[in-house]
Structure 1
Amino acid sequence: MVFDTVLRNGRIAGLHGPVDIGVRDGRFAAIGAALGAPDSAREFALDGRLVTGGFVETHIHLDKSCISDRCACRTGTLKEAIETVAAAKLAFTEEDIYARGRRTLEKAILQGTMRMRTHVEVDPRIGLKGFRAISRLKRDYDWAIDLEICVFPQEGLNNDPGTFELLVEACESGADLIGGCPYTDSDPHLQIARIFELARRFDVDVDFHLDFDLDPSWMHIDEVCRKTKAHGWGGRVAIGHVTKLSALEPQALQRVAAKLSQAGVAVTVLPATDLFLMGRDATHSVPRGVAPAHRLCEQGVVCSLATNNVLNPFTPFGDCSLLRIANLYANVAQTGRADQLEACFDMVTTLPARLMNLKRYGIAVGNPADLVVLDCADPASAVAELAQPVLGMKRGRISFWNAPATINRPEPRQE
């Protein structure tokens, strides 16, 4: 068989021993031991390193990344973050959003992310500036990453006249899905209903920011699950944050997990942001505020771990590494066994691919040749050691190369 590229001696999770991976016409053409290749084929020696289908980012905000220097924050609360960003975005321009989004997107690409869902704010203050800027990024970087745009009303819908019409315009202009943020709305249940109305009208998936506090006495999860069932939207709805779940006792958590699983509602946990914002009123024994994704997975809920914000009041740090997010979650959730670390790896690869309903994801013959090579031998080591991405390939083309660091040893001393 003729190949364009052959990657030698790579390890694929679930397969025993190193294999060769043959790529032709932008797709995986063969996977096996000692693949033959003509002299014209490019070859890369992987030396037993792990090969994965690329990281999948399900929840990030490119449009408001890299603005920490514009926001003076004192309390570090969610309320303050929303207010300071709302004030800052009055000065956003389309070019400004594009430039900051590009900076963040390129970081994600270099960290091995190949598919991404970014939430973009739409309201009468920002209009469609963010949507247009991120749509340009989607086109300009499609050689390295598949970008999905979720438009949503960060500051409310029913209390913000003109926002619904802008969401409609964005959907008519090609937004990939619709999002919501009920906890900022004057009528949360009505917002949920109207978001599902738009989802049905444009036949798109839904992704809510939801239940973002530590009071478990009430939740909007129930209404989202009810609407998901009523509209037959199971498998097409995701909810992010849901920090309330971190405050539930085990039996209550099981009941909520069963409800989510039965309704077909997926969950995205955002450890960096949730750790930073939650529990701000505690003077000691500060709650972590991170929903237990691994426990939800055990109950059949599709879960992902994601970045959320980068260098802004919601999260004033971040390098766009999903491995770092998985490692952070493992620390917080106290999941250190090899099988638990592998589950964390799944929550930044295969499970978010399911959440986003991605077709033909992963390293298999016939799939698009999208892959990332990590400087480790297995998924558990990748999470535990924060393994460096060495090489990325998108549709058969090398999208980045990051040579492993080497120690510059001195010459042997002469006795």
Structure 2
Amino acid sequence: MHDHHTQLTGGYRRADGLPVPTLRNARTVEGHLVDVHIADGRVTDVVAARGAPVSAGDLDLTGYLLLTAPAEPHAHLDKALSFDEIRPPMGDLGAAIAAWEAHTPQLTVDDIARRARRAALRALSNGTTALRSHVNLLRGDDPLRGVRALVRVRAELADVMDIQLVALVPHGVGDDAVHAALDLGVDLVGGHPHQTPDPAGNLRRLLGLAEERGVGVDMHTDERLDPTMLTLEQLAHAVRDWPASMPVTAGHCVSLGTAAPDVVARVTAAVAAAGIGVVTLPITNLYLQGRDHPAATPRGLTAVRALLDAGVTLAGGADNVRDPYNPMGRSDALETAMLLVTAAHMTPVEAYRAVTGSAREVMSLPPAGPEAGAQADLLAIRATGLEDAIAAAPPDRFVLHRGRLVASGRSERSTIAGLVE
């Protein structure tokens, strides 16, 4: 992807963010050709394309499909792109955790920030204009190295994308470190109770810290193929009366995908009643889960259809990108959407909503997209329709954040003379 940039510290670059008053000749998902007018970061009007000349500053989107820009509801910028320096063994969740823990003593704030910038800008160039990242509180004398790095990156990229941070609190890291992370600007409390000796007690501890500070939570929840591990249900009952100002998100929820139908119905009803947003993470959980099931290998996803049918806000995320937890990944929401279609049997419309509108809802962000009144976070991609965009993920893209052009990309292809696709 090629992007329009000015220099940013550390050799990284950010977009000029020039405002675009009108998008001309764009195609909607419904197949209409439209002109989209933008002012003060919002879409003011969407009208039938008139074929008027493209004025200076406007963007001609002839041949492009206009979509809501993706949001990434579950990333790990502190770990991203570390695979090549760690060279971990391929394996399950336990092996990934061991590889990462062995590497963490070598991490510096600058190292983490360097990789995190690259990962965030890669996502931006692919169309993601909002991103929520978990950041590990590290064991040892300086548990806030990752926090300081990601707070720095968030500030540096604030004019091109919205970044939220979640303190990922391992078992054994004390409350003082959590408070210090929140004091540094982390937005939410998180953790992985199912990985601790006392899942219920650990969950109560983390929720208590969030309540003390009046912030929301985003929990790694039941990332196991174990139908008896259902801290999701405990979470739902514990936060049922929390105010909207303290949003609650549960990521992974893999165990729910293995539970019996009556249990799934009971848990999804509780989740819906509590207003919890759920994030399913196909690429990492398809990689990590099920390695000890050589026959009829489970998919490692949550109960997607049951959650949707219960009215739960279900988002899709990429999770890990090229680190010990997942050696693959393109930082492209269209990759996530494709996996939701193929592995979770969602429709293309459902899958794309999971990485756009539903992801923004989980992140408590205002609605965005090519509709009057919505925030002008938009992705224009050279595709004939939504299915084509998800299937082919063309690199020809324009990315707008609050009505400003923040990234663009184009491809060039050639074949032997006379051969035409």
Q: Which residue of 2 aligns with 1:152?
A: 168
The answer as to 2:403 corresponding to 1:401 is no
**Structure 1 residue runs without a partner (length 5+):** none
Change (3 A) 1:123 1:31: same
> In structure 1, what residue type is equivalent to 2:152?
R
CA distance in 2, matches of 1:294, 1:380: 20
CA distance in 2, matches of 1:311, 1:39: 41
CA distance in 2, matches of 1:148, 1:26: 20
Q: Which residue of 1 aligns with 2:356?
A: 349
2:249 partner SS: strand
Q: 1:376: how far off? A: 1.9
Change (3 A) 1:382 1:40: closer
User: In the TM superposition, what whole-angstrom CA distance separates every residue of 1:81-128 from its partner, at most 9, and x where no partner exists?
Assistant: 112101101110000001111111111011110100000011343511
Q: Which residue of 2 aligns with 1:10?
A: 26
Change (3 A) 1:294 1:48: farther
CA distance in 2, matches of 1:269, 1:111: 20
CA distance in 2, matches of 1:204, 1:294: 30
Greater mean alpha carbon deviation, residues 94-103 or residues 123-132? 123-132
Greater mean alpha carbon deviation, residues 385-394 or residues 135-144? 385-394
1:3-42 aligned at under 5 Å gives the runs: 5-13=21-29, 17-34=32-49, 41-42=56-57
Report if the CA contact (8 A) 2:25-2:61 is conserved: yes
User: In the TM superposition, what whole-angstrom CA distance separates every residue of 1:54-105 from its partner, at most 9, and x where no partner exists?
Assistant: 1010001000112223435446021121121011011100000011111111
The answer as to 2:222 corresponding to 1:221 is no
Q: Which residue of 2 aligns with 1:260?
A: 271
Question: How many equivalent pairs are there?
Answer: 400
Q: 1:204: how far off? A: 1.9
The one of 111, 118, 124 equivalent to 1:109 is 124
Q: Which residue of 2 aligns with 1:142?
A: 158
The one of 70, 95, 100 equivalent to 1:85 is 100
CA distance in 1, matches of 2:73, 2:216: 13
Q: 1:51: how far off? A: 1.3
> In structure 2, what residue type is equivalent to 1:137?
V
> In structure 1, what residue type is equivalent to 2:265?
Q
Change (3 A) 1:353 1:29: same
CA distance in 2, matches of 1:369, 1:230: 33
Q: Which residue of 2 aligns with 1:201?
A: 212
CA distance in 2, matches of 1:24, 1:405: 33
Q: 1:202: how far off? A: 2.5
Q: Which residue of 1 aligns with 2:383?
A: 376
User: In the TM superposition, what whole-angstrom CA distance separates every residue of 1:253-279 from its partner, at most 9, and x where no partner exists?
Assistant: 222221211111111111111111111
CA distance in 1, matches of 2:254, 2:355: 19
CA distance in 2, matches of 1:274, 1:352: 18
- Provide the alpha-carbon RMSD of the alignment: 2.4
Report if the CA contact (8 A) 1:279-1:288 is conserved: yes
Change (3 A) 1:244 1:7: same
Q: Which residue of 2 aligns with 1:54?
A: 69
Q: 1:186: how far off? A: 2.8
Greater mean alpha carbon deviation, residues 127-136 or residues 253-262? 253-262
Change (3 A) 1:360 1:232: closer
> In structure 2, what residue type is equivalent to 1:376?
A
Report if the CA contact (8 A) 1:238-1:265 is conserved: yes
Greater mean alpha carbon deviation, residues 280-289 or residues 270-279? 280-289
Q: 1:232: how far off? A: 4.5
CA distance in 2, matches of 1:33, 1:19: 4
Change (3 A) 1:234 1:291: farther
User: In the TM superposition, what whole-angstrom CA distance separates every residue of 1:361-402 from its partner, at most 9, and x where no partner exists?
Assistant: 233334443211022243333223334451011223211111
1:168 partner SS: helix
Report if the CA contact (8 A) 2:216-2:247 is conserved: yes
Q: Which residue of 2 aligns with 1:119?
A: 134
The answer as to 2:339 corresponding to 1:328 is yes
Report if the CA contact (8 A) 1:61-1:119 is conserved: yes
Report if the CA contact (8 A) 1:216-1:244 is conserved: yes
With normalisation by structure 1, the TM-score equals 0.89
Q: Which has the higher contact order (CA 8 A, sep 6+)?
A: 2
CA distance in 1, matches of 2:65, 2:286: 30
CA distance in 1, matches of 2:150, 2:326: 20
The one of 157, 161, 169 equivalent to 2:180 is 169
CA distance in 1, matches of 2:267, 2:212: 29
**Structure 2 residue runs without a partner (length 5+):** 1-18
Q: Which residue of 2 aligns with 1:63?
A: 78
With normalisation by structure 2, the TM-score equals 0.88
Change (3 A) 1:385 1:84: same
> In structure 2, what residue type is equivalent to 1:17?
H
The answer as to 2:190 corresponding to 1:179 is yes
CA distance in 2, matches of 1:230, 1:383: 38
Q: 1:410: how far off? A: 3.7
Percentage of matched positions with identical amino acids: 29
